Amino acid sequence: MAKKIKKQESTEIATVTKSRRGFEEPTEKEDYIIPRGLLLQGLSEAVQKEGMKQGLIINSLTRDELPETFIPIFKFTTWIRYNAKKKSDRGYDDNFDLGAVIWKSNDPNDPRVIEESKFGENGDAPLATKHINFFCYFPGHPTPVVVSFKKTSLRTGRELLTMAKMFNSDMFAYRYNLTARLEEKNGNSFYMFKVAPAGKSSAEEYTACEKLYDAFADKPIIVDESHHQDEE
């Protein structure tokens, strides 16, 4: 039986500064793990073990289904070197678990980024994976969520960035819809992100996003990477 997905109705923002018991010690923004918008594939753990439906987009930490409408607040790019999934695969490093993160960088001038984001001599895919990330607010959802575009979805991330730039305003002045579309390639079926504009943000949404921007835009962002292979 498929697991019933909890719906989030609260509009509370995770950065509310009102005093709450148990949070007396100051918390640095870089201590937070920001959840990702996880797109479930047929072999995702949430599908195989939790009975969720493939093609859903969920919060990677709470496992709640995300609303379709979202507002990107700011963009940041990361490069991540994942260990190979098999010991026989190119780039396997026996110092790390299969599929584990070997290194991560936000600096395009990092020597590891320069060297390992190139295609191999035989056209092999780069060892490091480029991620175009958007720190987002999903109206009705209590926490900010990072939506990452990589590999086959990298073009969709570029499309979102292009649309946001064309509006010639703060990134969070406009809303978008985030859905999944089924694709087929080389006999394999998989889901990809699809993004479409959805009008201007309301005054309340704009204010909420502005608070999140002020709180997180200049801080190191630690993104939940625990389920990254679920999207492969």
pLDDT tier for residue 232 given thresholds of 50, 70 and 90: low
Summarised one tens digit per residue, pLDDT across range 9-56 is: 444 444 455 667 887 787 776 678 899 999 998 888 888 888 899 899
Q: Is the pLDDT of residue 161 over 60?
A: yes
Say how many C-beta atoms besides its own lie within 10 A of residue 38's C-beta. Answer: 27
- Residue-level pLDDT at 221: 85
- Residue-level pLDDT at 9: 44
Q: Is the pLDDT of residue 180 over 50?
A: yes
Q: What's the whole-model pTM score?
A: 0.83
Summarised one tens digit per residue, pLDDT across range 109-148 is: 999 999 998 887 777 889 999 999 999 999 999 899 999 9
SS3 content of the chain, % helix, strand, coil (to 5): 20, 30, 45
- Residue-level pLDDT at 48: 85
Q: What are the structural domain ranges in the chain? A: 31-231
